[in-house]
Amino acid sequence: MRVELTTIEVKGKLDEKTSYQFWTFGGKVPGPFIRARLGDTLEIHLRNDATSILAHSVDFHGALGPGGGSQFTQTFPGEEKVFSFKTTIPGLFVYHCATPSIASSFHIVGEIFDSVRMGGGRPMKEEQTVLVAPGNAATFELQMKHAGHFNLIDHALSRVERGLNGVLVVDGPEEDDLMHAGPAAREPKGRRGRE
């Protein structure tokens, strides 16, 4: 399934006195909803509008592979990048720009936690992002499905610029059917009718 996203920097109003430079997909916040079925291969075309000042990218929390796609999509103004990934986990997942200087909470870029246990609580299953408050602790379990370098981040990506970054290095097969740079391979004729 081909998905076209365009990053556009838009100045908008937060209130009567405050404006903000939004990083958008398609000129809107939030960006467009993307609906796919389990087992579909998404071919993502990310174009960064020529009027943009910054490079932009996209991190799909439901995409299993390095950076959730962000390692393949660091895109300068006026350029386009393409990558493909297979949907393997059912659910509703967010996507966002993974270029430095945005803030949020902890996750491993390009994977989903199989299980998360906050403090001594019950395990939560298939979590994409976890808020770990100051003074709290959590344990995480996950089975990696793709080789590569996976960033452990808290979405305050400005900290990465200062060297505060963890990287989980996974050796093994690259599982190109899960994620790879470039267009999707053509699927058998019986599956193409859902595009």
Task: Give the mean pLDDT of 16-36.
Answer: 91
Where is pLDDT greater, at 121 or 187? 121
pLDDT tens per residue, range 59-74: 998 888 888 888 899 9
| Binding-site annotation: residue ranges | 56, 61, 96-97, 107
| pTM, to two decimals | 0.60
Per-residue pLDDT at 187: 54
pLDDT tens per residue, range 127-166: 877 777 655 677 888 888 888 888 777 655 555 556 666 7
Where is pLDDT greater, at 122 or 43? 43
| Confidence band, pLDDT 50/70/90 cuts, at residue 101 | very low
Task: Give the residue among 4, 51, 60 at the shortest CA–CA distance from 23.
Answer: 51
Strand, coil or helix: what is 66? helix
Backbone angles phi, psi at 66, to 5 degrees: -55, 120
Domains of the chain are: 2-194 (2.60.40.420)
| Binding-site annotation: residue ranges for Cu cation | 56, 61, 96-97, 107
Name beta bridge partners: 152. Answer: 108, 166
